[in-house]
A = this chain, B = another copy of it.
Amino acid sequence: MSENTKKVPAVVIKRLPRYYRYLGELLKQDIKRISSNALSQKMNVTASQIRQDFNYFGGFGQQGYGYNVQYLYDEIGDILGLNDGDTTVIIGAGNLGRALANHNTFEKRGFKLVGIFDNDAAIIGTIINGITVKSIDEIDSFMKNNRVDIGILTIPKSAVQETAERLADNGIKGILNFSYTELEISKDIAIENVHLSDPMMTLSYKIKQEK
């Protein structure tokens, strides 16, 4: 299936996590089948859009009576790489870093937190969610001795580029950047820049429309 996924538009990729979450909710409610129409209502996306989205991945065998929820959930999880056992480290154990370290949804999605690093002597050695915070100076040796796939950056803007390059030199595969800057890096590394003020601005837009 993966040979067909190269040209999937970014907007479709962005919808996959949403599909995955919704399907997870359906499973919790013990719902075994769902029509694209019913899924469409729940997701606020047209049924034809859903079919188009799914067609990028082979269509998931929808038939007259709808999708098999468990199958669809498993397939999308697989496409999202959630069964790959990716391991993560958090760099920056401030408020946001601590919030993410305690954010057990990451773990539920198959990501295993294996290390937390900071440069503040007052924070190094403290324990967050069962993990002892290490000095950032130990990151190179840590990455030599442990599988680390993803680096979550919750550090000041000024330190992002240097830290990202250091992780890249040590073979990181992806970076989730919460540092309010658009990280770009020359190597072949996947990057997601998260801007917490974006949903705030979208909300503000909606409020203005409702006035």
Question: Residues of B contacting A210 with CB < 8 Å?
Answer: 173, 188, 190
In the complex, per-residue mask of A71-97: 1 if CB is within 8 Å of any chain B CB, else 0: 000000001111010100000001110
A52 at the interface (CB under 8 A from B): no
Bound Cα distance A200, B99 (Å): 15
3 smallest beta-carbon distances between A and B, as pairs = A81-B208, A190-B206, A95-B99
Given contacts A5-B209, A190-B203, 13 further A-B contacts (CB under 8 A): A2-B209, A14-B202, A16-B201, A17-B201, A81-B205, A84-B207, A96-B99, A105-B195, A150-B200, A150-B207, A174-B203, A190-B207, A190-B209
A147 at the interface (CB under 8 A from B): no
* Chain A residues numbered 166-211 whose CB sits less than 8 Å from any CB in chain B: 173-176, 180, 182, 188, 190-192, 194-210
Report the minimal beta-carbon distance from A120 to chain B, rounded to whole angstroms.
15
A142 at the interface (CB under 8 A from B): no
Q: Are B192 and A176 in contact (CB under 8 A)?
A: no
Q: Are A82 and B194 in contact (CB under 8 A)?
A: no
In the complex with contacts A11-B11, A81-B204, A198-B96 CB distance below 8 A: no
Report the minimal beta-carbon distance from A103 to chain B, rounded to whole angstroms.
6
Q: Are A150 and B203 in contact (CB under 8 A)?
A: yes
Question: Residues of B contacting A51 with CB < 8 Å?
Answer: none
Number of this chain's copies in the assembly equals 2
Bound Cα distance A198, B103 (Å): 13
Question: Residues of B contacting A50 with CB < 8 Å?
Answer: none
In the complex with contacts A95-B96, A173-B207, A82-B201 CB distance below 8 A: yes
What are some 14 contacts across the A-B interface (CB < 8 A)? Answer: A2-B208, A6-B209, A20-B201, A79-B208, A82-B204, A84-B208, A99-B99, A100-B196, A106-B197, A111-B204, A150-B200, A150-B207, A176-B200, A192-B199
Bound Cα distance A99, B101 (Å): 13
Question: Residues of B contacting A32 with CB < 8 Å?
Answer: none
In the complex with contacts A6-B209, A21-B195, A105-B196, A86-B204 CB distance below 8 A: yes
